[in-house]
């Protein structure tokens, strides 16, 4: 098991299966909130369901509407359980904060060092603590 000290950008506890990509993602045009599936045909995770996973992406790209898509996903129950990034991604942080304000359902957003981020692989079981500690089991 790997234990990593992340920075809790938006603090919270969550666990789930890791879904990892080195490729950034725009949620608008990239995430179908009706199904919780990644739909960006340019993205390596296209077609993969991300609802309930701990989704690890280096950062957001593309549309400003990424935050609104994430808010819709939270409302619809199709959002990832948490987001893990390599830097402070203000889009993911904002979506979580507004999800807290609107629906009392914020989700953890944690930033890892690039080195720690590289230790994540899809299929690991990830546990995120409020302090920002990230535990990765298996795979």
Partner 1 sequence: MQLTARDRAMLEGAEGPAPQLAMSILVRMAEIGGAPGLMDISQAHIDSTIYLGDATLEFAERLAALGARVAVPTSLNVSGVDVCGWQRWAVPPEWAAKAARQMRAYEQMGAVATWTCAPYHTHMRPAFGQQIAWGESNAIAFANSVIGARTERYPDLLDVCCAITGRVPAVGLHLTENRAGQTLLQLVDVPRPLQADDQFFAVLGHLVGQLAGDAIPVIDGIVTRPVEDQLKAFAAAAASSGRVALFHLVGITPEAPTLDAAFQGRRPRATIDITVPALKAARAELTNADGADLDMVILGSPHFSLDEFRRLAPLVAGQRRHPRVKLLVTSGRAMKEQAEQAGVLAPVLEFGAEITLDTCVLASPMLPPDIKRLMTNSAKYAYYAPSLLAARITFGSLADCVRSAIEGRVVRDDSTWQ
**Span 7-36, contacts to partner 1 by CB under 8 A:** 9-10, 24, 26, 28-30, 33
- Reading the block at residue 13, the tokens are 């506890």
Contact (CB, 8 A) for 65 and 55? no
Catalytically active residues are 63
Residue reference for tokens 């919780």: 36
Per the structure block, which two tokens stand in for 28? 């608008």
Question: Interface with partner 1 includes 130 (CB under 8 A)?
Answer: no
Nearer to partner 1, 31 or 52 (CB): 31
Q: Are 129 and 7 in contact (CB under 8 A)?
A: no
Kindly indicate which of the ranges 12-20, 49-57, 94-102, 122-130 contains the residues binding partner 1, using the contact rule CB under 8 A.
Answer: 94-102
Per CB under 8 A, 37 contacts partner 1: no
How far the first Cα of the chain sits from its last, in Å, is 10
- The number of beta carbons lying within 10 Å of the beta carbon of residue 113 is 14
**Number of Cβ within a 10 Å radius of residue 116:** 18
Q: Could you say whether residue 66 binds partner 1 (CB under 8 A)?
A: yes
Q: Smallest distance, Å, CB 20 to partner 1?
A: 17
From candidates 12, 14, 36, 40, binder to partner 1 by CB under 8 A: 40
Question: Closer CB to partner 1, residue 1 or residue 34?
Answer: 34
Quick one: 23 or 137, whose CB is closer to partner 1? 23
């Amino acid at each position: 098991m790997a234990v990593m000290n992340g920075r809790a950008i938006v603090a919270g506890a969550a666990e789930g299966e890791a879904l990892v990509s080195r490729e950034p993602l725009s949620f608008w045009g990239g995430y179908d909130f009706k199904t919780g599936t990644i739909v960006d045909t340019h993205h390596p995770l296209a077609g993969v369901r991300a609802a309930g996973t701990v989704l690890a992406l280096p950062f957001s790209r593309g549309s400003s509407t990424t935050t609104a898509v994430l808010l819709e996903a939270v409302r619809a129950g199709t959002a990832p359980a948490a987001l893990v990034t390599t830097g402070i991604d203000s889009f993911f942080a904002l979506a979580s904060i507004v999800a807290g304000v609107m629906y009392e359902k914020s989700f953890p957003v944690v930033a890892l060092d690039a080195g720690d981020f590289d230790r994540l692989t899809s299929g690991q079981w990830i546990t995120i603590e409020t302090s920002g500690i990230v535990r990765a089991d298996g795979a």
